[in-house]
A and B are shown apart, each in its own frame.
Chain A
Amino acid sequence: VTPQPKNPESTADAVAETHLPTAYQTVGPYFKIGLEAFYRDDLTGPNTPGQVIEIVGSVIDADGVSVPDAVLEFWHADSEGRYQEQPQLQPFEGSFVGFGRVPTDADGHFRFRTIKPGAVQVHTPARQAPHILVSVFLRGLLHRLITRIYFSDEPDNADDPVLGSVEANRRNSLVARADPSQSGRYTWDVFLQGASETVFFDL
């Protein structure tokens, strides 16, 4: 038995009509059962060109307490600064796509392994330094928070238009710090509130 929607072939029946967009709601405490199928904490593969990097950090609330029920999503370009645009036959199988999804663990920590994105300069008016887009979801957040990760060892940061749009004293919250003791390892934390509050964007 299958539901049969009305007007099965009608794809443009309401083009003139403006629909109100669907509002956000929180992921709640039990998102794991719905989102776990596409957890992606390692986007590297034997044939993925680029430098393997690992980003580790925590999500921290107003009391300085780590949040054990957050999920972060990442979206970034490949090592040449290009975004994957070919539609996939099966979600997140096969070659590098650039999408990651990582929950925080019981201690509020996360770990994401990928390849370092290249500078994005095609189809964009100003060259962008290598960066990763991040969506933050958690119980208590009625809609997602949007932020970016840049890399402390990238000279391009100085000319990046998005970093440049952020007050200088808050920019550091967007920059993952290279670990001097381990090549390719970066630390980056999300402060939801407080003196070190991370910069979140209105998109």
Chain B
Amino acid sequence: MDSIDTPPVAAVYRKYQDGILPAYNYPPYASSVKRSPRQPLVPLRQTLSELTAPRFVPPEALSPINLTKGPHGDALGERILVSGRVLDEDGRAVPGTLVEIWQANAAGRYLHAHDQHDAPLDPNFTGCGYFVTDRAGRFAFETIRPGAYPWRNHYNAWRPAHIHFSVFGPAFATRLITQMYFPGDPLLPFDPIFNSIRLEAARNRLIASFNWDTTVPDYGLGYQFDIVLRGSEQTPMENKP
């Protein structure tokens, strides 16, 4: 009720500890050099503007979206079931937040005009979707395991398989865009984007884990990917299940 006149949260979000956020200027990722600032960032005290964000009503029941069904039939490739939760640093669920995902198809090609990789498009796979987390911060979707693909960053450069995630969270301060990787991918040690994160534990957080419990017999492998947003210094007044 009348939440416009009520502080949304009595909270200030914690700083990221060193080694989690990649440097803006990271020469191994060639595109960063001319597209990143050189001046130091100016500290910004969190005000109401940074502590608010668009919020959404969590769905009553978890209803997984399915990217594998196209207009003419099933998408090609290995079906996988991805599920997880959006949490904060203290393990509190982040309900009612918008998550957007996008990825390449099984052959490593995006449905994007600028992607000219010589690999086939799949008429039954767009590779994108969105959902709102439920009251427990949960989400689940079914998709095709994306393929690796070459890029021009350096000689013989290949991106490891990944799914892009965009998450709003409860405040402008918690907005996050990241990538989910797959366990055991041999390309990870060579990838400058993954390795732009200095802290090994923070890199590993971006790797989904195989989940036997969500693996469906005779159907597809389950992967677990939890997304952890910045925590707040005080207990939010909302955000209770």
A123 touching B82, Cβ below 8 Å: no
A22 touching B229, Cβ below 8 Å: yes
A25 touching B35, Cβ below 8 Å: no
B228 touching A20, Cβ below 8 Å: yes
Kindly state whether residue B50 has any CB partner on chain A within 8 Å: yes
Asked, given contacts A5-B138, A9-B136, A21-B16, whether A75 binds B53 with beta carbons under 8 Å apart, the answer is yes
Kindly state whether residue B187 has any CB partner on chain A within 8 Å: no
Q: Using Cβ atoms and an 8 Å threshold, which residues of chain B touch A168?
A: none
B228 touching A122, Cβ below 8 Å: no
Q: How large is the interface on A (under 10, 10 to 19, 20 to 34, 35 or more residues)?
A: 35 or more
Kindly state whether residue B124 has any CB partner on chain A within 8 Å: no
B52 touching A143, Cβ below 8 Å: no
Q: Using Cβ atoms and an 8 Å threshold, which residues of chain A touch B214?
A: 3-6
Main secondary structure of the interface of B (DSSP, over half): loop
- Checking A11, A99, A123, A166 against B42 with a beta-carbon cut-off of 8 angstroms, the contacting residue is A166
B206 touching A1, Cβ below 8 Å: no
Instruction: Tell me, in angstroms, the Cα distance from A73 to B177 when the chains sit together.
Output: 12
- Checking B48, B199, B203 against A120 with a beta-carbon cut-off of 8 angstroms, the contacting residue is B48
Q: Using Cβ atoms and an 8 Å threshold, which residues of chain A touch B186?
A: none
Instruction: Tell me, in angstroms, the Cα distance from A11 to B22 when the chains sit together.
Output: 30
Taking beta carbons and an 8 Å cutoff, which residues of B are in contact with A? 3-8, 13, 16, 20-24, 26, 29, 31-39, 41-50, 52-57, 62, 64, 81-85, 87-93, 96, 98, 100-102, 104, 110-112, 114-115, 126-128, 130, 132, 135-138, 140, 142, 164, 166, 172-173, 175-179, 193-194, 196-197, 199, 201-203, 205-206, 211, 213-214, 216, 219-220, 222, 226-231, 241
Asked, given contacts A61-B34, A143-B22, whether A15 binds B54 with beta carbons under 8 Å apart, the answer is no
A142 touching B24, Cβ below 8 Å: yes
Instruction: Tell me, in angstroms, the Cα distance from A16 to B176 when the chains sit together.
Output: 23
A97 touching B92, Cβ below 8 Å: no
B142 touching A19, Cβ below 8 Å: no
Give the Cβ gap from A92 to chain B, nearest Cβ, in Å. 7
Asked, given contacts A34-B101, A201-B41, whether A140 binds B49 with beta carbons under 8 Å apart, the answer is no
Asked, given contacts A197-B38, A200-B41, whether A131 binds B100 with beta carbons under 8 Å apart, the answer is no
- Checking B38, B42, B96, B178 against A201 with a beta-carbon cut-off of 8 angstroms, the contacting residue is B42
Asked, given contacts A12-B91, A122-B48, A140-B36, whether A22 binds B216 with beta carbons under 8 Å apart, the answer is no
B128 touching A21, Cβ below 8 Å: no
A142 touching B57, Cβ below 8 Å: no
A-B contact pairs, 10 of them (CB 8 A): A10-B136, A20-B89, A25-B177, A29-B114, A128-B47, A133-B50, A142-B24, A146-B44, A170-B39, A192-B34
Kindly state whether residue A14 has any CB partner on chain B within 8 Å: yes
